[in-house]
Amino acid sequence: MKKGFTLMELIVVMAIIGFLLTVSIPIALNAVRTAKATQIGRNIRNISNAGEAYYYTEKPENFTEISVNLLENKSYLDSSLKEEDLSKYSISSTEFENYFVLESVYSGEDISTELVHEKYPFIQSTGNVLFIRLKLGKW
């Protein structure tokens, strides 16, 4: 008596594995896209919060020179962002008569803005650019 599998048994097993892969790969890819959208939304919000905390704590004379690197150096922002990801984020401030407008921006094109809006409806977008604008009163 020979031990082993027949050709038919091997073909059936391969067909089952192929079917399972066909079902599971789209689900896994969707989970990765959703996680990336959540991460980007959280990063934009954290950068915006760090800029606001910096403004109200430090009371800088020239708030228009704010940057992500400045917030990292002053420890208002956790440096957990990778260098290649960090280049996709920016923060800027525009001065008006009685207030500043603080804008945190993500300019990467590797995520669907709709996925970010599902998790963070307060994040705005123009094309593929995601941003948050805050109005900060002057001292």
Residue spans of the domains in the chain: they are: 7-137
* Cβ–Cβ < 8 Å for 74, 96: no
Other residues' Cβ atoms within 10 Å of the Cβ of residue 55: 21
Strand bridging mode 99-106 / 89-95: antiparallel
Q: Whose CA is closest to 120, among 40, 33, 26?
A: 40
pLDDT for 31: 92
Q: Whose CA is closest to 64, among 93, 99, 104, 96?
A: 93
pLDDT tens per residue, range 7-49: 999 999 999 999 999 999 999 989 999 999 999 999 999 999 9
Checking if the pLDDT of 116 tops 70, the result is yes
> Any idea which residue has 């050709």 for tokens?
7
Q: How confident is the model at residue 5 (pLDDT cuts 50, 70, 90)?
A: confident
pTM: 0.80
Token pair in block for residue 88: 């996709």
pLDDT tens per residue, range 52-105: 999 999 988 888 899 998 998 899 988 777 666 788 999 999 999 889 999 999
